[in-house]
Amino acid sequence: MASPDPHEHPTLARFRAEHARLGGTGRIVVLPDAVHTAALAAEALGCEVGAIANSLLFEAEGAPVLVLTSGAHRVDVAATAARIGVPALRRASPDFVRTHTGQVIGGVSPLGHPAPVPTYLDSWLRRHPVVWAAAGHPAAVFSTTTDELLALTGAVEIDVEA
């Protein structure tokens, strides 16, 4: 196995190690600039915005909940909370995100968190044979399929819109 790159950002290195440990098969790509939005990521990768899997962390009664949603969707928090059986979902603060993922908003990966986070995946992502998600850093992404993303994360597939 290759030695870690001493110049690689620690969150990307942790992602890379976890991706390999779990048997991820997609490419990890480090872009020249941070891509904090699905639109910027899609433009940089030359794909549809719907093929970007946004990792959105929410707070449900003080506990983290990760929703992997298509960049073409907004999460309806009331409908999604009802579907997953929690009273309410609130957008997490930057500190909450960093505490529960070890990563910053704009670079939150679907995996490699300090502790397991209940994860839900937007069924809309199935419309794309390849999806892209953050790889632990705002300028890093990885390719995958919906089925592989479900397997890597243990996510439950749901609808996130009303």
Residue 69 located in a structural domain? yes
Separation of alpha carbons 53 and 83, rounded Å: 19
Per the structure block, which two tokens stand in for 105? 């908003």
Q: 21-72 pLDDT, tens per residue?
A: 999 999 999 988 878 788 888 998 999 999 999 999 999 999 999 999 999 9
Q: Give residue 1's pLDDT.
A: 42
Beta-strand runs (E) in the chain: 28-30, 52-60, 63-70, 90-91, 119-122, 131-134, 140-144, 156-158
Q: Give residue 4's pLDDT.
A: 53
Residue 67 located in a structural domain? yes
Q: 64-123 pLDDT, tens per residue?
A: 999 999 999 999 999 999 999 999 999 999 999 999 999 999 899 999 999 999 999 999
* Domain housing 101: 10-158
Q: Which residues, in sequence order, are CB contacts of 147 under 8 Å at separation 6+?
A: none
Residue 89 located in a structural domain? yes
4 compared with 143, residue with greater pLDDT:
143
Average pLDDT across the chain, whole number: 93
Q: Give residue 3's pLDDT.
A: 43
For the chain, how many structural domains are there in total?
Answer: 1
Residue 5 pLDDT > 70 = no
Residue 1 located in a structural domain? no
What's this model's pTM, rounded to 2 decimal places?
A: 0.92
CATH of the domain at 98: 3.90.960.10
Residue 116 located in a structural domain? yes
State whether residue 82 is helix, strand or coil: helix
Residue 119 located in a structural domain? yes
Separation of alpha carbons 81 and 13, rounded Å: 33
Label residue 2 by pLDDT band (50, 70, 90).
very low
Site of tokens 């996510």: 155
DSSP 94: H
DSSP 80: H
DSSP 126: G
Q: Give residue 49's pLDDT.
A: 95
3-state secondary structure 1-40: CCCCCCCCCHHHHHHHHHHHHCCCCCCEEECCCCCCCHHH
